[in-house]
Chain A
């Protein structure tokens, strides 16, 4: 029976690629599926691209593949990565230059067509209102503030690129799980044009596998949300990212490379399975909709979990677009107070700063106050019994404003307190730069309007 083994690459822009080395050396995989784009990474990449039009892809791509490609190429392992970000062609150009300089060979495919920012008005004319999925508002309300707008493409162009012989497939925005589903469908001879329930079910199993691999170490015992149990996960310093072996009959085993840390078990796999899922009975992707309610996870021991029983529902007629728009600025500052009266002094400081903002008539829409170390994360569920006797406390204040200069000036409300405010203040680490705030605009558009613009282009480094 045919099968394919896929290893998880990164889980976000900035993640570590060191664990992929163990997967390549000891994991017996044919593919690495690497997810570099969280929902808002494209906003960061847009800022890069404004400064330098050749940028706009995740800059970890070149060092990561320069380090890993020799290991992969020697074993015939292929990479699928969404590191192209807003500029997959630019990413390919940079990668090709780097591989050439090292004398390495590769066949690189570039998938484009997800970026619809310059087609927003065309899509609207074609009948897609691009209403906000939650609020129903029209996109006109943020049209002039848009910084990116990308459709989530599916696995089909990735499978096409692999069929054309690509060793490295670079995409922009695709559904995270498509990075695995593409190789699965390509290797196992499945079809995206499913006609029967079993064909939809096996696509849904492929989607399940892709979802389990898309967050790197979170699928193998990292960030195991628990009291105490997290401390029993071995050797996180050498965590093995998850690996899935998928059989053509629609059964998968999730595991990791031998002699690595972390854990693949019923507990760690099901935590990842439900991660960032809304309705588990309708987990949408561009290729198939998954009902998780029929999945069966069986812990086989020795870091192996059998996954089967996915139910597939035909894919939707529309594709999801996520756009980001500029939505004001945040200014913020952090300072520390030592015992005695640490918490009361932090509160007194909040009152002083709020008073100054009022007297200066600063145009501020919202003030956020956090007592770091006390109740930032737990809010009213924090244990506040010890707050009068705390050894130290850190005050963080953040403000929301439409005016960048107001945000930039906000931290300057604090230095004078060192000599003229409550005593024993320390740890002011300078004037933090203002951060641009971004709103997210999720919307839907007709599949045909997007897919007609999708292109797979292949370049060879010989």
Chain B
């Protein structure tokens, strides 16, 4: 089944120079294990190719149940020379929460926030 990250995680993004950065946080430990496996550098790079992202760095933080992503080259050269409405990359975290990942029934059963929800994708 496919689930959208917004159902199982939260995220905040910001800027530094020409980089957008996103903290992606699992609400619980079983979900973190799934995120760590499914939300790869390759998937995030493809997800944000439209921003002109040149490369993506990923840092798993087991102590925070979090994945840190840095999108290099994603801000049109930086907030103050960008033509975008969201020149600061504040909404990039929301765009990451739109990502869908594939999980199997075993994973789904282990994720607390999906318990009780219909398996409607």
Contact = CB atoms under 8 A, between A and B. Distances in A.
A379 B68 CA distance: 22
Q: How many interface residues does chain B have, given as a range?
A: 35 or more
A39 B27 CA distance: 31
A451 B7 CA distance: 49
A40 B95 contact: no
A302 interface: no
A437 B19 contact: no
**Which of A218, A297, A370, A379 counts the most B-chain CB atoms under 10 A from its CB?**
A379
A296 B62 CA distance: 10
Contact of A442 (B17, B21, B25, B99): B17
Given A225-B11, A275-B14, A378-B94, A292 B61 contact: yes
Contact of B23 (A274, A309, A398): A274
B86 A377 contact: yes
Interface string A343-383: 00000000000000000000000101010100011111100
A281 interface: yes
Contact of A274 (B16, B50, B68, B79): B68
Interface stretch (A21-29, A80-88, A323-331): A323-331
Given A227-B6, A273-B64, A293-B63, A440 B78 contact: yes
Contacts of A370: 84-85
A396 B87 CA distance: 14
Q: Is the interface of B mostly helix, strand, loop or mixed?
A: mixed
Contacts of A295: 63-64
Interface in A152-169: none
B63 A440 contact: no
A69 interface: no
B30 to A, nearest CB: 16
A173 interface: no
Contact of A377 (B61, B65, B80, B95): B95
A384 B6 CA distance: 19
Nearest to B4: A227
B97 to A, nearest CB: 6
Interface string B87-121: 00001011101110000000000000000000000
Residue from B59, B80, B85 with most neighbouring chain A CB atoms (10 Å): B80
Nearest to B93: A225
Interface string B73-86: 00001111101111
Nearest to A366: B83
B32 to A, nearest CB: 12
B116 to A, nearest CB: 15
Interface of B: 6-7, 10-19, 21, 23, 25, 27, 47, 50-51, 57, 59, 61, 63-66, 68, 70, 77-81, 83-86, 91, 93-95, 97-99
Interface of A: 39-40, 43, 134, 218, 223-227, 229, 267, 270-281, 292-297, 309, 324, 327-328, 330, 332, 366, 368, 370, 372, 376-381, 396, 398-400, 437-440, 442
Given A277-B68, A440-B78, 8 more contacts: A224-B12, A227-B7, A270-B65, A276-B14, A278-B57, A332-B83, A377-B94, A378-B94
